[in-house]
Structure 1
């Protein structure tokens, strides 16, 4: 049974978060020889799963703390989600995001009235900026992953998947800070479902940390999956993932673009690179999954169209003339 925290989050999110659909494709089922269910969190409010955790965390604050306003650092999606959560609770929000964050994410955040503070990924430490502003303004920090209520809110993704499909053998999730993986693992605990994380090879901090048994920092990574470019896992999710996650698959950059193309071709869904990483893991390492139906978290679709079209063109050009080559080329 899912943890109490996840079940409580399910109740708080009723009428706020969309219960996103589970998509299927005969082509994917035939290619992989199993039923594949894709949880379309790109259709969630704010375009990613992040609203679940951000709203749950803000809702759990007492009124006095919440009235002081909230602040967070994010590559973009958590910032957008926090901006909406703050707007729904009628409190102020400040978000610290990279200067190179996609314009679509920045514009969506500004439309909700949140204040944006930009930083250089390679020169500045975003957490230091957040703590300095929070100390000055008295605002409450709502981390993108390292918070029990954020993790619990993210876990509602897994709870919904298991409510809809009762015979899943595995759920495949993207891993950045680790909050989504940890939440889904809590939702699936004790139900005989393996939860497997996927990271870009270039940003394999969780893979390295799980292998070492402790947090392992890596240099600032360069990956097209900007939302997963962490230098080390968040502490709380890591402790959960160390206990409950069945493993982590790493995927090359090419596989991420090809997964985006496959999602477009067979599901007619536009995925941001971070959102397609779990699907890339499924295609890249299907042999590592247990037999039986598999659920995949398609975690977000917030991508700048020029960048999306460029990545899609490259992937489609590599596989032109064979509608199944996009996946087959990355299967081992």
Structure 2
């Protein structure tokens, strides 16, 4: 199993472009239509550009590029509340190759009477090769809708699940248009007079039906406190050098204890994987950033070491742990609740 990207809470609309959003940080906390038990803040999201008709608000890069084969099945899980009481409340999301060309455009239109999903499949020449559409005359005004989409190249079809139930299977020429291509990132847009709101998203190469993203919140100092700044900086809405933990020391470490997973979630769910993400920036050679985790008092430096020189708190450094590195077994909630997460930085040279 490979989790390509995880997004927590995201809430944006046209008026919020100047009123609600910090331009360099889309990690919005909100009392709005989100999974309050699950969501917190989204990482790795930065402002791109703005035009009159459509605003490109963020790119979300995959932890690694995903290469489509003739037998690939790419899964996307999204949870969002169908809250809009207006016509044409459009959510736009595009799947991109590393060079910026488009593989797919995705659009949701919500009315008071129902909603419509639209998938534009792009071919190798960069034009729309096929459009797949699914409509449903149900308006989810009071509940969060969990959607899962399977893009199945082996069978040239898109499967749509709603609240864990298969709703539709749509034919689409995915194999001829995507096989051999790489997917690198998602780009989110807001259409004029529209909005983009969801409380969690995960993209993976394994079936995501029934998955939920629980974001843990740092709440107190851990074993290592070798950086300036503290937990209040980590939890700050702003994402900048003024609200960061910082150091000039090679090998310095900083770890935090996190909130526990609620008992009701433990009753209903099991842990599929633990993902650790850090965003950082360096203006010197001290720029080789790594995630660390402390399990039962044992420290583990995770493998995805990344140069964050001039990263400007952009693309996150993500490590995925499918099993407990100390036991080699699947995670338990007790183990997750006792973890410390953090980071360390070393000279690039």
TM-score, length-normalised on structure 1?
Answer: 0.28
TM-score (norm 2): 0.27
Structure showing the higher strand proportion among its residues: 2
Bigger Rg, structure 1 or 2: 2
More helix by share: 1
